[in-house]
Amino acid sequence: MRILLVEDEPDISRQLRAALGDAGYVVDIAPDGEEGQFLGETEPYDAVILDLGLPKVDGVSVLERWRRAGLSTPVLILTARGGWSDKVAGFDAGADDYLTKPFHTEELLARLRALLRRAAGHAQPMLTCGDLRLDPKAARATVNGEPLRLTSLEYRLLHYMMMHGDRVISRTELVEHLYDQDFDRDSNTIEVFIGRLRKKVGPERVETVRGLGYRLMPIGAA
Ligand code: CA
Protein backbone atom coordinates (compact mmCIF):
# COMPACT_ATOMS: atom_id res chain seq x y z
CA MET A 1 0.00 0.00 0.00
CA ARG A 2 1.38 3.33 -1.04
CA ILE A 3 0.61 6.46 0.96
CA LEU A 4 1.06 10.14 0.17
CA LEU A 5 1.83 12.32 3.17
CA VAL A 6 1.40 16.06 2.62
CA GLU A 7 2.92 17.73 5.67
CA ASP A 8 5.19 20.77 6.09
CA GLU A 9 6.49 20.05 9.60
CA PRO A 10 9.70 18.00 9.18
CA ASP A 11 9.48 16.40 12.63
CA ILE A 12 5.98 15.06 11.99
CA SER A 13 6.95 13.89 8.48
CA ARG A 14 9.98 12.03 9.75
CA GLN A 15 8.10 10.41 12.58
CA LEU A 16 5.19 9.36 10.38
CA ARG A 17 7.41 8.06 7.59
CA ALA A 18 9.15 5.79 10.10
CA ALA A 19 5.89 4.61 11.69
CA LEU A 20 4.20 4.01 8.34
CA GLY A 21 7.29 2.20 7.05
CA ASP A 22 7.31 -0.07 10.11
CA ALA A 23 3.64 -0.81 9.50
CA GLY A 24 4.46 -2.02 5.97
CA TYR A 25 3.48 1.01 3.87
CA VAL A 26 5.58 2.88 1.35
CA VAL A 27 5.39 6.65 1.74
CA ASP A 28 5.98 9.66 -0.50
CA ILE A 29 6.22 13.01 1.28
CA ALA A 30 5.23 16.39 -0.12
CA PRO A 31 6.28 19.39 2.03
CA ASP A 32 3.78 21.86 0.56
CA GLY A 33 0.34 21.99 -1.06
CA GLU A 34 1.61 22.52 -4.57
CA GLU A 35 3.79 19.42 -4.68
CA GLY A 36 1.16 17.47 -2.77
CA GLN A 37 -1.50 18.32 -5.30
CA PHE A 38 0.81 17.38 -8.17
CA LEU A 39 1.81 14.02 -6.68
CA GLY A 40 -1.79 13.18 -5.81
CA GLU A 41 -2.84 13.80 -9.38
CA THR A 42 0.02 11.97 -11.06
CA GLU A 43 0.78 8.97 -8.83
CA PRO A 44 -1.66 6.22 -7.82
CA TYR A 45 -1.86 6.27 -4.01
CA ASP A 46 -3.95 3.96 -1.85
CA ALA A 47 -4.58 6.74 0.66
CA VAL A 48 -3.49 10.32 1.44
CA ILE A 49 -2.71 11.96 4.78
CA LEU A 50 -3.20 15.68 4.22
CA ASP A 51 -2.28 18.45 6.64
CA LEU A 52 -4.58 21.45 6.18
CA GLY A 53 -2.14 24.23 7.13
CA LEU A 54 0.36 24.08 4.26
CA PRO A 55 2.66 26.51 2.42
CA LYS A 56 1.84 27.56 -1.18
CA VAL A 57 -1.61 25.97 -1.42
CA ASP A 58 -3.69 25.11 1.69
CA GLY A 59 -4.93 21.58 2.28
CA VAL A 60 -8.64 22.29 1.73
CA SER A 61 -7.91 23.82 -1.69
CA VAL A 62 -5.72 20.84 -2.63
CA LEU A 63 -8.51 18.45 -1.67
CA GLU A 64 -11.14 20.46 -3.55
CA ARG A 65 -9.00 20.37 -6.71
CA TRP A 66 -8.43 16.62 -6.42
CA ARG A 67 -12.12 15.89 -5.98
CA ARG A 68 -13.06 18.23 -8.83
CA ALA A 69 -10.61 16.32 -11.02
CA GLY A 70 -12.41 13.07 -10.10
CA LEU A 71 -9.77 11.67 -7.75
CA SER A 72 -11.46 9.25 -5.33
CA THR A 73 -8.46 8.21 -3.20
CA PRO A 74 -9.38 8.14 0.53
CA VAL A 75 -8.05 11.22 2.33
CA LEU A 76 -7.43 11.66 6.05
CA ILE A 77 -6.93 15.31 7.03
CA LEU A 78 -4.81 16.62 9.90
CA THR A 79 -6.25 19.68 11.61
CA ALA A 80 -5.12 22.04 14.36
CA ARG A 81 -6.65 21.66 17.79
CA GLY A 82 -9.92 23.52 18.10
CA GLY A 83 -10.13 24.05 14.36
CA TRP A 84 -13.70 22.78 14.04
CA SER A 85 -14.38 25.00 11.04
CA ASP A 86 -11.34 23.39 9.33
CA LYS A 87 -12.89 19.98 9.88
CA VAL A 88 -16.19 21.09 8.36
CA ALA A 89 -14.40 22.66 5.39
CA GLY A 90 -12.31 19.52 5.02
CA PHE A 91 -15.31 17.17 4.99
CA ASP A 92 -17.16 19.48 2.59
CA ALA A 93 -14.13 19.36 0.32
CA GLY A 94 -14.23 15.55 0.28
CA ALA A 95 -12.20 14.29 3.26
CA ASP A 96 -12.98 10.77 4.52
CA ASP A 97 -11.67 11.12 8.06
CA TYR A 98 -9.70 13.52 10.25
CA LEU A 99 -7.30 13.65 13.16
CA THR A 100 -6.59 16.63 15.40
CA LYS A 101 -2.96 17.52 16.16
CA PRO A 102 -1.29 16.41 18.33
CA PHE A 103 -2.31 12.80 17.79
CA HIS A 104 -1.06 9.36 18.72
CA THR A 105 0.62 7.51 15.87
CA GLU A 106 -1.32 4.38 16.82
CA GLU A 107 -4.60 6.19 16.25
CA LEU A 108 -3.46 7.45 12.87
CA LEU A 109 -2.45 3.90 11.85
CA ALA A 110 -5.80 2.51 13.02
CA ARG A 111 -7.74 5.14 11.08
CA LEU A 112 -5.62 4.50 8.02
CA ARG A 113 -6.27 0.75 8.18
CA ALA A 114 -10.01 1.44 8.42
CA LEU A 115 -9.88 3.85 5.45
CA LEU A 116 -7.97 1.40 3.27
CA ARG A 117 -10.30 -1.43 4.24
CA ARG A 118 -13.43 0.54 3.41
CA ALA A 119 -11.97 1.81 0.15
CA ALA A 120 -11.28 -1.79 -0.93
CA GLY A 121 -14.77 -2.91 0.17
CA HIS A 122 -13.72 -5.01 3.17
CA ALA A 123 -15.76 -4.90 6.37
CA GLN A 124 -13.50 -7.26 8.35
CA PRO A 125 -10.12 -6.10 9.64
CA MET A 126 -8.60 -9.55 8.94
CA LEU A 127 -7.99 -10.29 5.26
CA THR A 128 -8.54 -13.87 4.13
CA CYS A 129 -8.15 -15.84 0.93
CA GLY A 130 -8.89 -19.52 1.49
CA ASP A 131 -6.81 -20.48 4.52
CA LEU A 132 -4.39 -17.63 3.88
CA ARG A 133 -4.90 -14.89 6.48
CA LEU A 134 -3.31 -11.48 6.84
CA ASP A 135 -3.62 -9.18 9.84
CA PRO A 136 -2.78 -5.59 8.77
CA LYS A 137 -2.63 -4.44 12.41
CA ALA A 138 0.08 -6.90 13.37
CA ALA A 139 1.58 -6.93 9.85
CA ARG A 140 1.57 -10.74 9.95
CA ALA A 141 0.26 -13.46 7.68
CA THR A 142 -0.47 -17.15 8.18
CA VAL A 143 -1.21 -20.13 5.95
CA ASN A 144 -3.46 -22.73 7.53
CA GLY A 145 -2.56 -21.22 10.92
CA GLU A 146 1.20 -21.38 10.29
CA PRO A 147 3.02 -18.02 10.43
CA LEU A 148 4.68 -16.91 7.19
CA ARG A 149 8.16 -15.43 7.32
CA LEU A 150 8.00 -12.63 4.79
CA THR A 151 10.42 -9.86 3.93
CA SER A 152 8.89 -6.38 4.00
CA LEU A 153 8.49 -6.34 0.22
CA GLU A 154 6.90 -9.79 0.17
CA TYR A 155 4.54 -8.63 2.92
CA ARG A 156 3.59 -5.50 0.95
CA LEU A 157 2.99 -7.61 -2.14
CA LEU A 158 0.78 -10.08 -0.30
CA HIS A 159 -1.07 -7.28 1.54
CA TYR A 160 -1.87 -5.48 -1.71
CA MET A 161 -2.96 -8.69 -3.44
CA MET A 162 -5.18 -9.70 -0.53
CA MET A 163 -6.78 -6.25 -0.45
CA HIS A 164 -7.69 -6.76 -4.09
CA GLY A 165 -8.01 -10.54 -4.00
CA ASP A 166 -11.09 -10.73 -6.16
CA ARG A 167 -9.44 -9.61 -9.39
CA VAL A 168 -6.40 -9.91 -11.63
CA ILE A 169 -3.67 -7.39 -10.75
CA SER A 170 -1.23 -6.26 -13.42
CA ARG A 171 2.51 -6.00 -12.91
CA THR A 172 2.36 -2.26 -13.54
CA GLU A 173 -0.25 -1.83 -10.81
CA LEU A 174 1.90 -3.79 -8.37
CA VAL A 175 4.97 -1.71 -9.19
CA GLU A 176 3.00 1.50 -8.71
CA HIS A 177 1.66 0.49 -5.32
CA LEU A 178 4.68 -1.27 -3.81
CA TYR A 179 7.44 1.26 -4.40
CA ASP A 180 7.79 4.94 -3.56
CA GLN A 181 8.46 7.54 -6.23
CA ASP A 182 12.24 7.52 -5.77
CA PHE A 183 12.58 3.80 -6.40
CA ASP A 184 14.07 2.69 -9.70
CA ARG A 185 11.04 0.78 -10.85
CA ASP A 186 11.47 -2.19 -13.08
CA SER A 187 8.39 -4.33 -13.49
CA ASN A 188 10.60 -7.39 -14.07
CA THR A 189 11.60 -7.38 -10.42
CA ILE A 190 7.97 -7.98 -9.53
CA GLU A 191 8.24 -11.39 -11.19
CA VAL A 192 11.14 -12.23 -8.90
CA PHE A 193 9.11 -11.28 -5.82
CA ILE A 194 6.07 -13.17 -7.07
CA GLY A 195 8.34 -16.21 -7.42
CA ARG A 196 9.57 -15.84 -3.83
CA LEU A 197 6.06 -15.33 -2.52
CA ARG A 198 4.91 -18.47 -4.37
CA LYS A 199 7.63 -20.49 -2.63
CA LYS A 200 6.38 -19.31 0.75
CA VAL A 201 2.62 -19.53 0.32
CA GLY A 202 2.51 -22.42 -2.16
CA PRO A 203 2.74 -21.96 -5.95
CA GLU A 204 -0.90 -22.87 -6.58
CA ARG A 205 -2.08 -19.81 -4.65
CA VAL A 206 -0.70 -17.22 -7.06
CA GLU A 207 -2.07 -17.73 -10.55
CA THR A 208 -0.43 -16.08 -13.54
CA VAL A 209 -3.02 -14.78 -15.97
CA ARG A 210 -1.17 -14.58 -19.27
CA GLY A 211 -0.71 -11.03 -20.51
CA LEU A 212 -2.79 -9.58 -17.67
CA GLY A 213 -1.06 -10.22 -14.36
CA TYR A 214 -1.63 -12.22 -11.22
CA ARG A 215 -4.54 -13.41 -9.15
CA LEU A 216 -4.69 -14.93 -5.68
CA MET A 217 -6.50 -18.26 -5.56
CA PRO A 218 -8.56 -19.15 -2.48
CA ILE A 219 -7.22 -22.54 -1.40
CA GLY A 220 -8.22 -24.35 1.77
CA ALA A 221 -11.06 -23.47 4.12
CA ALA A 222 -11.13 -19.93 5.53
CA1 CA B 1 1.15 22.53 8.80
188 vs 219, residue with greater confidence: 219
Print the domain residue range for 84: 2-120
What value does the CA radius of gyration of the chain take, rounded to a whole number of Å? 18
Q: Where are the beta strands (DSSP E) in 106-154?
A: 127-129, 132-135, 140-143, 146-147
221 located within any domain: no
pLDDT tens profile 58-103:
999 999 999 999 999 999 999 987 778 999 999 999 999 999 999 9
Q: Residue 22: in which H helix or E strand, if any?
A: helix 10-22
Number of domains in the chain: 2
- Distance (Å) from CA 176 to ligand 1 centroid: 27
What is the percentage of the chain residues whose pLDDT exceeds 90? 85
- What percent of the chain is helix, strand and coil (3-state, nearest 5)? 45, 20, 35
Answer yes or no: do 11 and 77 share one domain: yes
Would residue 222 count as lying in a domain? no
Query: First-to-last CA distance in the chain?
Result: 23
34 and 115 assigned to the same domain: yes
Whether 149 is covered by a domain: the verdict is yes
Burial (0-12, 13-18, 19+ Cβ within 10 Å), 106? exposed
Cα-to-centroid distance, 85 and ligand 1 (Å)? 16
pLDDT digit string, tens, across residues 1-53: 999 999 999 999 999 999 999 999 999 999 999 999 999 999 999 999 999 99
Ion ligand 1, residues whose Cβ is below 5 A away:
8, 51, 53
Given a cut of 90, whether residue 166 has pLDDT beyond it is no
For residue 45, being part of any structural domain is answered with yes
* Domain stop point among 120, 139, 170: 120
Q: Which residue among 64, 92, 120 closes a domain?
A: 120
Q: What's the 220 CA to ligand 1 centre distance in angstroms?
A: 48
What phi and psi, each to the nearest 5 degrees, are found at residue 157?
-65, -50
Residue 85's CB: how many other CB atoms inside 10 A? 9
> What is the Cα–Cα distance from 25 to 116, expressed in whole angstroms?
11
10 Å Cβ neighbour count for 46?
Answer: 21
The domain that contains 82 carries what CATH number?
3.40.50.2300
Tell how far the Cα of 172 is from the centroid of ligand 1, in angstroms: 33
